[in-house]
């Protein structure tokens, strides 16, 4: 149990943020909503290669896949090849630059896979607040973010700074290993809990993987 009341679970997963317990929770939530005779509306951002977005679409959800424009061709080709053109669409956008109105909103489910770590804490809080307002009441937000206590924290200059000051490049050898360029803000589980809380979410649970990355589930009330 998180000291602030959120349920804490330790889970063992690969470093890939797409293959984790949080994804399973989000897909299970989609199934529950589909069983309730409603077509769930889902946004995944950033979408990457689109594996998670396609899983939602295969469950019958209406899916919006958001990412930088360079991903459009690959993702739209995958959507077409999977026969999911009527269920999934791509929009060129980043989480810190979402249009005022998006197809499918208000969403039942929003999954933010790893984009928040590229923002300063205050900016990330504002972004989460904006995303929260794109959820319907009772809609759920699923967040994955890179962890301060993961391997990424080794030699990280911002390790001992407070979360509002923590924003710097990874140690050169770690940045090269994982292909992460530029400044990032790494999070502890408590940092993520507070981010969601301060953005206006009701936090349902937080998680720390054995690799040190952190996840959270929150709801709009």
Instruction: Confirm whether 166 is domain-assigned.
Output: yes
Are the beta carbons of 150 and 212 closer than 8 angstroms?
yes
| pTM score over 0.85 | yes
Domain membership of residue 1 (yes or no) is no
Share of residues in the chain with pLDDT > 70 (%): 91
Nearest to 42 by CA among 91, 99, 106, 94: 106
Range of the domain at 204: 7-219
User: Residue 186 belongs to a domain with what CATH number?
Assistant: 3.40.50.150
Per-residue pLDDT tens over the stretch 30-87: 999 988 767 899 999 998 889 999 999 999 999 999 999 998 999 999 999 999 999 9
Residue 72 CB-density burial (10 A; 0-12 exposed, 13-18 middle, 19+ buried): middle
Beta-carbon contacts of 190 under 8 Å, excluding residues fewer than 6 positions away, are 2, 3, 4
Instruction: Give domain status of residue 66, yes or no.
Output: yes
Share of the chain above pLDDT 90, in %: 80
Any idea how long the chain is? 221
pLDDT recorded at residue 16: 37
Give the confidence band of 116 by pLDDT, cuts at 50, 70, 90: very high
| pLDDT value, residue 37 | 65
At 7 the pLDDT is 42
What is the domain count for the chain?
A: 1
Query: pLDDT tens digit string along 130-174?
Result: 999 999 999 999 999 999 999 999 999 999 999 999 999 999 999
Computed over every residue of the chain, the mean pLDDT equals 89
Higher local confidence (pLDDT), 2 or 33: 33
* 65 domain-assigned: yes
pLDDT score for 35: 84
| Local confidence band at 2 (pLDDT 50, 70, 90 cut-offs) | very low
Q: What is the mean pLDDT of residues 3-11?
A: 41
> For residue 19, what pLDDT is reported?
52
pLDDT of residue 48: 85
Contact indicator for 25, 142 with CB cutoff of 8 Å: yes
């Amino acid at each position: 149990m998180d000291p602030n009341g959120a349920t804490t679970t330790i889970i063992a997963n690969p470093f890939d943020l797409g293959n984790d317990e949080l994804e399973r929770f989000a897909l299970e939530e989609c199934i529950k909503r589909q069983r309730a005779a409603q077509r769930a509306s889902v946004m995944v951002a950033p979408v990457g290669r689109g594996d998670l977005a396609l899983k939602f679409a295969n469950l019958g959800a209406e899916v919006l896949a958001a990412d930088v424009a360079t991903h459009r061709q690959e993702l739209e080709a995958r959507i077409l090849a999977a026969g999911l053109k009527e269920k999934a669409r791509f929009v060129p956008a980043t989480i810190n630059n979402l249009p005022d109105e998006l197809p499918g909103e208000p969403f039942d489910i929003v999954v933010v896979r790893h984009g928040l770590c590229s923002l300063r804490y205050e900016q990330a809080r504002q972004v989460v607040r904006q995303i929260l307002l794109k959820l319907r009441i009772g809609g759920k937000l699923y967040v994955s973010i890179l962890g301060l206590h993961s391997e990424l924290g080794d030699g990280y200059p911002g390790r001992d700074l407070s979360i509002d000051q923590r924003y710097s490049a990874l140690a050169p050898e770690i940045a090269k290993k994982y292909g992460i360029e530029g400044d990032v803000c790494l999070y502890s589980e408590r940092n993520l809990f507070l981010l969601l809380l301060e953005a206006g979410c009701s936090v349902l649970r937080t998680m720390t993987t054995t690799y040190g990355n952190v996840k959270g589930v929150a709801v709009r009330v």
